Amino acid sequence: DGGITQSPKYLFRKEGQNVTLSCEQNLNHDAMYWYRQDPGQGLRLIYYSQIVNDFQKGDIAEGYSVSREKKESFPLTVTSAQKNPTAFYLCASRLGGSNQPQHFGDGTRLSIL
Amino acid sequence: EDKVVQSPLSLVVHEGDTVTLNCSYEVTNFRSLLWYKQEKKAPTFLFMLTSSGIEKKSGRLSSILDKKELFSILNITATQTGDSAIYLCASPGGALNFGKGTSLLVTP
């Protein structure tokens, strides 16, 4: 079945460590997105990519990095510069056409030890 | 700056009640407005609205857009406990601009 797969579902990080969250899609979607969700905050955009080898910062990109070397993959690295990384991270993708609905993965919950 | 505002932020109702969730938006180059339902994990797509005054309906859920007043409503009739979720409203630009969501709790 086509879809978006995020891994792992739960992730624990020690302070000072970088961690990478995986997002893979087999929907042949061009655009991919990373959101962060905190209680009462809705979804906030971290980074997005419209095509391979290109990506743009969203509203809260500081302390995060991404790459888009393949169409189906858009990993997110949470660096040690991100001072409050505990959150629920959602990856999404969309077929071309900027008013099309996004499809979401099941999310990764990141916690600081 | 594009903005999507949802109200109320949270709501508690009894089974069988009808609820109306609100979403107002200020988005340059408006194309559409989307509603999602989020339970424990991924938001699932409900409706996409592009034209004013045309109701979209799916079972007990319906939604309508007013492009003149820049808002949309999501109605849920005869609510059930399974309707308990966060309902998100969004409008696309380069990415999706999301509201903060309305957290709905339906009690037995």
According to DSSP, the β-strands at B85-92 and B96-98 are: antiparallel
How many contacts (CB atoms, under 8 Å) link A and B? 53
- Structure confidence at residue A61 (pLDDT): 95
Higher pLDDT, B51 or B64: B64
Contact A45 B43 (CB under 8 A): no
A7–chain B Cβ distance below 8 A for any pair: no
Distances from the Cα of A25 to the Cαs of A14, A31, A67, in angstroms?
28, 10, 14
Whether B108 contacts B15, CB under 8 Å: yes
Cα gap B24→B7, rounded to integer Å = 9
pLDDT 10s digits, A31-55: 999 999 997 678 899 999 999 999 9
> Amino acid identity, residue A67?
S
pLDDT of B93 higher than 90: no
